[in-house]
Structure 1
């Protein structure tokens, strides 16, 4: 009887506890940590070059884009079962290559950028089928975010310095909006009114009005801003700055920098085979960001092989979590 109780209890416990998933791009693995017990639960192989991860709304699955390498473009999505902590399936995307940005539209459908095709695709997870595609016709369509009602998608295009607004009902491109050189990171404010885009090549943040699809303002954030995430309460925008090795904490209302926080000490690790390698010297190269309900910030440092946990209030790293080689995509549930 005791064994049966334990078997039933474990999935419930996993779903209720605070967990972290981290993708290791150079190791082709996903690590899942129990943050309450401060322990690694499992390490699961993915496809080649896993870059981004999204947690399903019901917290049952994680979907991972396998981007591939410079020599070998990827074309698959790994789906993990978060209750069983196992590989659920691998979805082959056929001729759609270099999948990167990913979000769940609902518990059954994914939306994914595919850079090589200058497009986004909709994937039915249960059947493993592509059920729709829309071209951005922009260079390096990289990250994406959904409108709050899930009727629109906004895609950051690094090579074109723009974002693409896409109507998911009519499955058509609405507009391409110029935002700045190297538009890469993207997020939407919790109230759904603004889209923020990090322009890494010009050290700026562009703010786009969701209703008018016009750029409202642009302001400077130095240090190669590469990702942006909003706190749940909408008070802060957190920008990871890969070159300077910091996160910038921005007042989301006033668009002013409150503080900048180093994510790690200077690092000296083997940089061969990493995306940014020695480009940024001894910077830990913070990229992926996730923020929990208590406004603790989790930052993946791709050139330090750690996740830094940062308290917004005191502006300090309160702990670090050892990962595999070149962590990037990250998620909490």
Structure 2
């Protein structure tokens, strides 16, 4: 056999392996993305592989956020102006139920065992506790002013109160507020690092992320960010966090070992970067941009934008369903 023929066979084999790897990577990055539309009253369902909207689901007025149940069978959509939550069946991508929850619902957070859902109702200064199986109300817990985000961390719930600049800590067992932590002006989204028991709070009007020690319930540091941090989330490997900044149109990467910004990815000055989530086991970072009606897909291994997807008007919340 000639040298050129051998080289050709080897080249074909290598290309074949590359194609297989590409297909595997593509499959790993598959699944559906759910994005709210604040001015659209709808949730767009996007095929992550193609970037195409495969369905538009009508929900309530001013749908702010979407949260998937632990089994990923339902998507909970908070309709701020309606005071309702719409439940989307993720198998059919249709609304299976809508129920009233209180005045001004913002975010839902469901416990990993699927037994409790916490919904912040900003105009009631309260958190509604819902049974995810029956959708029956279990309790109403008064917190600070204009609660925005509820985060379950072990046997506690951390609630960011936008209007009072603090975080209410709820004991899940007795559903009482066990403490209030001042964090800075305009706290919104939150993230939790299980390894260190630290809670990260994006303080929108203070331009920092407050870091709370989950054991002492004290702020241990504040990490300066770009203008208008909105949501923050911890990577699956617990080494980093990302914070979306709507005032700057950026997302910033935080090294959790030293609580410092190590990377800034610019989306666009007018992007209004807002919601944040992960896909493909944390390899992809998903961001909603309320200012230009897009989703940015970022390769989290290289911190660069690899895809921009057009969606509905003023997307804020985002959630990813595995394939």
1:251 alignment counterpart: 255
> Is 1:128 aligned to 2:135, yes or no?
yes
Q: What is the total number of aligned residue pairs between the two structures?
A: 291
> Is 1:82 aligned to 2:82, yes or no?
no
2:55 alignment counterpart: 42
> Is 1:23 aligned to 2:36, yes or no?
yes
By how many angstroms is 1:192 displaced?
5.8
**Aligned partner of 1:319 among 298, 304, 307:** 307
**Aligned partner of 2:167 among 152, 163, 166:** 163
1:71 alignment counterpart: none
1:5 alignment counterpart: none
- Structure 2 residues without counterparts, runs of 5 or longer: 1-28
Structure whose alpha-carbon radius of gyration is higher: 2
Distance 1:27 1:228 in 2: 25
After superposition, the Cα gap between the structure-2 partners of 1:132 and 1:153, relative to the gap in structure 1 and judged at 3 Å, is same
Contact 1:78 1:89 in 2 (8 A): yes
SS of aligned partner of 2:254 = strand
By how many angstroms is 1:109 displaced?
3.5
Listed one character per residue, the Cα deviations across residues 242-295 of structure 1 (whole Å, up to 9, x for unaligned) are: 11110011111111111111124x5xxxxxxxxxxxxxxxx2100000112142
Listed one character per residue, the Cα deviations across residues 6-65 of structure 1 (whole Å, up to 9, x for unaligned) are: xxxxxxxxxx95211000110000011121343322110011111011101111000011
Q: TM-score, normalised by structure 2?
A: 0.86
Between stretches 103-112 and 315-324, larger displacement belongs to 103-112
> Is 1:290 aligned to 2:277, yes or no?
yes
Contact 2:104 2:121 in 1 (8 A): yes
By how many angstroms is 1:108 displaced?
5.1
Structure 1 runs of 4+ aligned residues shifted over 6 Å read none
By how many angstroms is 1:217 displaced?
1.2
Distance 1:315 1:216 in 2: 27
Listed one character per residue, the Cα deviations across residues 151-170 of structure 1 (whole Å, up to 9, x for unaligned) are: 21100111111111001210
Contact 1:92 1:128 in 2 (8 A): no
Distance 1:38 1:247 in 2: 21
Between stretches 206-215 and 216-225, larger displacement belongs to 216-225
Q: TM-score, normalised by structure 1?
A: 0.84
1:97 alignment counterpart: 103
Distance 1:200 1:325 in 2: 22
Distance 1:193 1:223 in 2: 27
2:125 alignment counterpart: 118
Contact 1:263 1:299 in 2 (8 A): no
RMSD, aligned α-carbons: 1.6
- Structure 1 residues without counterparts, runs of 5 or longer: 1-15, 69-73, 267-282
